[in-house]
Amino acid sequence: MTITLTKLYSLLSDKLGKDTAENLTEYIEAKMETDLKNMNVATKSDIAELRGDFKAELAKAKADMIKWSVSLFVVTVLLIVGLYFK
């Protein structure tokens, strides 16, 4: 980001003067840092929410897999018993 701010400063200093360009680039840098800090806080809370949702979905998928595995095992046993007594 500092390279971009340096380029911005050099462009603005030619047109607005060095003091104005320096003040403007300092303001932009401070604003960008504040926005990035706020964005990270929101991102962390989003990740925590998604982690909870993921755990719930994973538990549901695990229960479904166990249910289907037991069901298929019972059907397989019944088929084998049925073929044995045929």
SS (H, E, C) 8-36: HHHHHHHHHCHHHHHHHHHHHHHHHHHHH
**Tens of pLDDT, residues 31-59:** 888 877 777 676 788 899 999 999 999 99
Q: Which domain holds residue 11?
A: 2-84
* Number of domains present in the structure of the chain: 1
Q: What is the pLDDT of residue 22?
A: 83
Mean pLDDT, range 64-68, rounded to an integer: 98
Task: Kindly report the pTM of this predicted structure.
Answer: 0.49
Cα-flanking dihedrals φ and ψ of residue 45, to 5°? -70, -35
Q: What is the pLDDT of residue 25?
A: 80
